[in-house]
Structure 1
Amino acid sequence: MSLSVLAVDDSRTMRDMISIALKQAGIEPTLAEDGEHGLEVLADMTPPDVIITDINMPKLDGFGFIDAVRKQNKHQGIPILVLTTESAETLKARARQAGATGWIVKPFDPVKLVRALKMVAG
């Protein structure tokens, strides 16, 4: 199963870690530096099978990014996984309300991340 994935995270280190984990699974991710950049990249690409986003980012945080993605008709059905250091239930509920599909806490297990991507992508 070849997936297209957009990964949005303001940390270069985290983007590199996500990229390595996905490439080892045969997935070539598209990367964005923050929510604002993620929306720009998303507008210029074929809709991905899955989006991964952090919550705490400059310019446009993950909640704003998810909300903006969900407001675009052609992107409403794309699964969005939140990958963040945050674990508070209130934040998880807020993300679900914005339209997130799932939540993974950093640091992440690469095998579990890939498994989660494949699961939500169907």
Structure 2
Amino acid sequence: MRHQGIGNERGFSLLEALVVGVLLLISIVGILQMYSVIFYNAPKVDNLTRANYLLIKEAEIVLSQSYTTLDNFLLSNYPKIVNYGNISYTITYTLLDELSWGKYIKLSTFWNEGKENKSLSIELFKAKL
């Protein structure tokens, strides 16, 4: 019969446990920093997505107009203010170029995020048919 002493037992040393603890702490801090960036940028992404949705919706409305009534439609409907939640989006248009066979139109939306002014634009072409 073999007798084992107390000092011969296998296990983790205090140094190994401290190293593992430090590595876990570093990984947890990294994950928490990632979540803080996500929560900081989520409202900004939401506002940009809403602005994109508004511009696409307005582009469909503009392109559905006939070529002959397009100028009157743009003059009478823009600038337009659309409220979503606590953000007001201002939609404007610019006639970029008027050719004999069509018109280039730029739709833009502007909004404020705190102290920052943000904008998003989309360019359209309406052919003369």
TM-score (norm 2): 0.24
Q: Which has the higher contact order (CA 8 A, sep 6+)?
A: 1
Which structure has the larger Rg?
A: 2
The structure with the largest strand share of the pair is 2
TM-score (norm 1): 0.25
